[in-house]
A and B are shown apart, each in its own frame.
Chain A
Amino acid sequence: MTIATRATAHRTSRTATRFVGRLGFVVFITVVSVFFAVPMIWLVVAPFDGNPTMSVKWPEWTLNNFHRILDNPYAFGSIVNSLMISGGVVALTVILATLAAYALSRVRIPGRDALLYGLLLLSSIVTGTAAMVPTFQLINALGLINTQLGVVLVMSGGILPTVVFILKDFMDSVPKSYEESARLYGAGPFQILRDVVVPVARPGIAFVAVWSVVQAWSNFLVPFILLRDPTLQPAGVLMYTFYTEAGQADLRLISAFSLVYTLPVVVIYFLVNRKFGFRFYGGIKS
């Protein structure tokens, strides 16, 4: 073999290796995409299927499933409950977290970071399954069992540490000179927070607000345990009661209701995104 042919052979084998690698990559990406896409497709298609099953298939087009939702006495109320609970959680977390994050960002206290990490770690346990019994007892002792206030408090408690943690980062990136400047003109701490810090940290606040909505909206465990009365239950818990007379999961009702349940969050996301624009950074480049 001459050097030239050897070089050609080498080039050919390299091209072949590259083709196989490329093919493998495409196959891998396809499998992953399908894995994530199938539930989404089911969510969009199954509600319009006269006879939905657990698999994705071409539907027998109908709107009957949505009529059945309207027949369910608790369906509409549960969406309203979900909105109220999420709204309460967002209001409480955003207000408290903004104040706490600002204070933690500006005041030097020893062990501040350890405190934040500790809270972050504990919060995932406190409202998690492990702490459900003591949480139940606590809310019971407070007389808040079977109230939405109890649910809002427990959920907010679980969300707050993470939100404070994220917001503190945004507040850290607001230059101190902004506040000092406002202070020199005679503005007090709350005025500075309102006029300067909150507007500058607004992308961060918008982000944690949406994140809190999503967390509260999708939380099943807390309302499931703390609410007994079906007229108070949010949509996520109500869905758990959708069975046919035969005792099987009523897929027609569940699929349609799932879609209805998803829409408000998507709408909120787009509204907030349009109004504030998600910019996943804190401060302003000057």
Chain B
Amino acid sequence: MSDITIRELVKQYPNGVRGVDGVDVDVADGEFFALLGPSGCGKTTLLRSIAGLESVTEGALHIGVTDMTHVEPGDRGVAMVFQDYALFPHMDVSDNIAYPLRVRKVPKEERRATAARTAEGLSLGGLLDRRPGQLSGGQQQRVALARAIATRPDVLLLDEPLSNLDARLRLEARGFLKQLQRDLGVTTLFVTHDQAEAMALADRIAVMKDGRIQQIGTPREVFHSPRNTFVASFIGSHPMNLLPGRVSGGRVEVLGASLPAPRLTVDVPDGHEVVWGVRPEFISWSGTATPDSVRAEVSIVENLGATALVLAKAGDARLQCVVSEESAPQVGQQVWFACSVEKTLLFDAVTTDRIGGGE
């Protein structure tokens, strides 16, 4: 069993900055787990702490039942693919893949055989004699993956695995990574700043900010039931509409209109300041006034192919919604936006925690 248990992990730098500030994470055996957050949120530091490349200031790290908090990186059974792949430029593909085995003093024939077998599995068969400099970005990544899995690690760590690939290759590599992880069944953690990547690949996502975990959940959970406004705005290809409002008689006053409020999870008095949130994908528009809708004027329509992103102004506030491209409104048109109460979220204006809605 190679599940990962992280308790109260703190990484403090000599200048007093806490890169990781009291993090608890449990990753199940065989799980594909994403660490997601903006740059500087400590996700890479956390990953490097698991690898043993950063010494931990406080807290504990277990892989399986073994306490790995202060174990040397090489003795943790952890393999890592670096963002720049870190392929050794002076070794050919075969030697690169076999390098971990060379460190372990595996005989040369066995090393070559393992390298060839692993390379074959990642469709690198014909490239064994090439140097990293002669490979494309996607091939380099597969070599780095092959080197990481050649030793059959208990845990595989990936640092921004797709960020060095161009856009089209990224989609391809995404599918490939997911398939590979499933086939190997190895506990895998990866770091990304791209929420789409995390949503697409991971079984579960930990959203981080300022060295702290904001929420851990399945892609569905973080998308539909974000724990606070940060997660709400970070997840999703279009940022969630988050507008100030106040609770009044079981409804929410927002944008000068009174909209139905979702089920509240905490009791708040009338007049309580909240943040009303709804994803652009869950807003529909109509050319005529409908009940429980907000009036706005369309200012920009961005064509996204099958869909269109509509930006509208309601008073001083701005609203976004994603609609089918065929039914997009005209710029300058007066429209009424409505959204179903099930998709509406309410957050406390002060603590930013979600207090209503969600699944």
Residues of A within 8 A of B88 (CB): 178, 195-196, 199-200
CB of A177 within 8 A of CB of B99, answer: no
CB of A184 within 8 A of CB of B132, answer: no
A51: interface (CB < 8 Å): no
Residues of A within 8 A of B195 (CB): none
Which of B73-81, B254-262, B290-298, B302-310 contacts its partner? B73-81
Given the interface contacts A186-B103, A195-B99, does A175 sit within 8 Å of B84 by beta carbon? yes
Q: Once bound together, how far apart are the Cα atoms of A123 and B132, in whole Å?
A: 40
CB of A177 within 8 A of CB of B86, answer: yes
A191: interface (CB < 8 Å): yes
Residues of A within 8 A of B89 (CB): 200, 284, 286
**A188 to B: closest C-beta gap in Å:** 8
Q: Once bound together, how far apart are the Cα atoms of A187 and B85, in whole Å?
A: 17
B interface bracket (residues with beta carbon within 8 Å of A): 20 to 34
Q: Once bound together, how far apart are the Cα atoms of A191 and B74, in whole Å?
A: 13
State which of B75, B82, B100 has its C-beta within 8 Å of the C-beta of A180. B82
CB of B86 within 8 A of CB of A180, answer: yes
Q: Once bound together, how far apart are the Cα atoms of A270 and B45, in whole Å?
A: 47
Residues of B within 8 A of A191 (CB): 103
Taking chain A's interface residues, is the majority helix, strand, or loop, or is none over half, making it mixed? helix
Scan B58-81; emit 1 where CB is below 8 A from any A CB, else 0: 000000000000001111001110
A183: interface (CB < 8 Å): yes
B53: interface (CB < 8 Å): yes
The tally of residues in A whose CB lies under 8 Å from a CB in B reads: 20
Residues of A within 8 A of B80 (CB): 180-181, 184
**B190 to A: closest C-beta gap in Å:** 15
CB closest residue in chain A, given B131: A284
Given the interface contacts A177-B82, A286-B132, does A182 sit within 8 Å of B90 by beta carbon? no
* Sample of 21 A–B contacts (CB below 8 Å): A175-B86, A177-B83, A177-B86, A178-B88, A180-B73, A180-B80, A182-B103, A183-B53, A183-B74, A184-B74, A185-B103, A185-B151, A186-B72, A186-B73, A187-B103, A196-B88, A199-B90, A200-B88, A202-B90, A284-B133, A286-B132
10 closest pairs, A vs B, by CB?
A186-B74, A185-B100, A177-B86, A181-B86, A284-B89, A199-B90, A177-B82, A187-B103, A185-B103, A184-B73
Chain B residues engaging chain A, CB cutoff 8 angstroms: 51-53, 72-75, 78-80, 82-90, 99-100, 102-104, 132-133, 151
